[in-house]
Structure 1
Amino acid sequence: MIISFMKLLFLLLICISSVAYACGDNPNAIIQGPFKDDSFENGYICFQHTPDKRDVEFYLSYESKDGPQNNLVDVFFYSDAPVEVMSVFFAPINTVKSVVVLLRWNVNYEMNGIEYPYYYEVKAYHKHDNGYELKLNSSIDAQLAGYQTKRNSKIISYPLDNAKKIKQYLTENYGT
């Protein structure tokens, strides 16, 4: 009797935890998140691999008057290598709370004696009625993408390679 009760309790806990954090279309593929998103009622954002593990999908899940919503916000595509989500955080851009994502690709290019191990890109999304829309990326601001370089064993990091540096850049260039 006690063993049956324990099994039932265990199953209930598994079911409740999977419902509470339903984000994306495959909870087994999540690589970042779910992160609570107060911009939406019962909102969560998460990032998951596609089935082939080449691309990464950005999802927003929340409650609406029509019931639970699970929206694909963006897809970060394979480009010479699988994409990696290095950092995800919320930051104000022009006083609007935004989701900021730092992506990285292991590209390993070499040209004229300079090695290019990694390519980075920063993307920022503003809330709109039913989700997020892309507001900042390298097409709008060229500083939001670049390479880590290596020449004569000296590594020069991409200037926006972590959340602290990105926040400082966004504050200086896009206010708070």
Structure 2
Amino acid sequence: MPRLTDARRELRRAQIAEAAVRCFGRNGLESTSIADITAESGLSAGSIYAHYRNKADLVRAAAREVLARRADVLGAYAAQEIPPAPDELLARLVAAIDPAEARVGVQTWGEATTDPAMCAIVTDLTDRMRALLHDCVTAWLTRAEGIEPAAAREQAASIAHRLMALYQAELLYAALRPPAPSAPPTSEDTP
């Protein structure tokens, strides 16, 4: 059997983690089984266990996947010539919330209260996201508002903290809304 390249291994891990996110978002962390993730990913259980030791390892990977996506978006905003103003930044982040991912995020927060490994992941990624918000706001204050970098950095700290809190509140709100029902197939969907 051919060995997977490192790039292919990472793609496979991402495929499994994304399938896990969909399952956890739909069924919850506790109610999702490895068999559910196997069916969702289209891979064998052996393939999943070749990449993840157990369900807890998959939960951690799913949490990283969900939280890392938001961090990537914030990094792109901070790199813009003129980053969005704080209100616009929050509006964009809120508009991009996927309810299934929000449910996974909130569930991982709950797990983080009793699982030290999950707590470390959630804390690290939350701190990273807050730092990226801080960078975005600092960039906006210096580039759009003309504030000196040191003063902008200091002023941005409290703004970033409030943005993070508001974003987390929106995640919770999105997670608590019932999933939208699937639309019935239309005549265009049937062969």
Provide the TM-score with structure 2 as the length reference.
0.27
**Could you say which structure has the greater relative contact order, defined with CA pairs below 8 angstroms and 6 or more residues apart?**
2
Higher normalized helix content (fraction of residues):
2
Provide the TM-score with structure 1 as the length reference.
0.28
Higher normalized strand content (fraction of residues):
1
